[in-house]
Amino acid sequence: MGSTVRRPQSYSDRVKQFLYGTDTPVLFVGKLSWVYSGYLPCTVQNTRTTKWSVSKVLYGFDPGNKIDVRFGSCGLPEPQFKSEDEMLVIACPGYRNVWNGMTESVVPATDANIRAARGVMDGYLRAQVRELVRPRGARSPRPILVFEGTILDPGPKRDRDLPCPSIVPPTFPVKFQVQQIVRGDWTEKEVTVSFLGCGPLGSPANQVGQRVLVFALRIQPEPPTFFRAGFLLPPEQEAEAMAALRAVEAIPGTR
């Protein structure tokens, strides 16, 4: 019997692998301002802390001009953490305002790499929309509400880094002021959406008054209407979000 030869993973494959299961990722261009340069033992799972100066955000909420990101690492710093060039970085929120990144996804911010990264992020967004509107195996599309609004109440006032007291998956309410309905029906000026977890909303979309684009699932079609959160995006990504929604709706039987 012949052995199966596995081709090396491409940049897109590695990024897709990292994005699976993440929440509110960010893609940015930036330069390293500091990296822990010490030796990390390879006998245990270690992370290398880095500090970045962000020059441009290409996807997701703006994390600010400075961001700390931890990457899985062992031994001495990998080559990409020695570069003084602008790099592409994909990261997702972690604990204590420190983000988590994937070492192999850090590449030079060339035009070709930016196109590849944008393509992967567009695919990630389409997958998010499809999972909300019509998960695999569903016989018909589910009703959704998409709106642009501002956060009025991000949820319970507690330390997000503490574990939830319940072993049953809890939910918490988040209240929004509605500014514009993008898809679906809703006539009230405010709407409450249920999120998984103990709350409150986590960084980077967790400030009262912050503008967000909300994708939510309408659970109860008739009053009292109940909405369950799908995901949040910055309003600046409405065009990409609606393109993803139209692509999903174009699948036969989705509309």
Q: Which residues of 55-66 are buried (b: 16+ CB within 10 A; e: fewer)?
A: eebbbbbebeee
Query: 17: closest CA among 115, 103, 97?
Result: 103
**Whole-number Cα distances in Å, 239 to 144, 234, 250:** 17, 11, 16
Statement: residue 4 has pLDDT above 60: no
Distance CA 50, CA 101 (A): 10
Confidence bin at 99 (pLDDT 50/70/90): very high
Say what the pLDDT of residue 110 is.
Answer: 96
Which residue pairs from 17-20 have beta carbons closer than 8 angstroms and sit at least 24 positions apart in sequence? Answer: 17/102, 18/90, 18/102, 18/105, 19/90, 19/120, 19/124
Architecture of the domain defined by 138-249:
Beta Barrel (2.40)
Q: What are phi and psi of 15, to 5 degrees?
A: -65, -45
- Token duo for residue 21: 């299961």
Q: What are phi and psi of 253, to 5 degrees?
A: 85, 0
Q: Are strands 47-59 and 87-93 parallel, antiparallel or unpaired?
A: unpaired
If you compute the radius of gyration of the chain from its CA atoms, what whole number of angstroms results? 20
Domain ranges within the chain, ordered by starting residue: 11-121, 138-249
Q: How far is CA 123 from the centre of its chain?
A: 13
Distance CA 149, CA 214 (A): 8
pLDDT tens profile 102-151: 888 899 999 999 999 999 999 999 999 999 998 887 778 899 999 999 99
What is the residue-wise DSSP string for 71-111? EE--BSPPGGGG--S-EEEEEEE-STT-EEE-GGG-EE--H
Q: Do domains 11-121 and 138-249 have the same CATH topology?
A: yes
- The model's pTM is 0.88
pLDDT tens profile 157-209: 888 778 887 767 788 999 999 999 999 999 999 999 999 888 888 888 899 99
Cβ atoms of 80 and 101 within 8 Å: the answer is: no
Say what the pLDDT of residue 5 is.
Answer: 45
Q: Can you name the CATH fold of 11-121?
A: OB fold (Dihydrolipoamide Acetyltransferase, E2P) (2.40.50)
Query: Among 6-15, 22-31, 214-223, which stretch is predicted with the lowest mean pLDDT?
Result: 6-15
Query: 243: closest CA among 138, 123, 117?
Result: 123
pLDDT tens profile 73-92: 999 999 999 999 999 999 99
Say what the pLDDT of residue 1 is.
Answer: 45
**Mean pLDDT (the chain, rounded):** 88
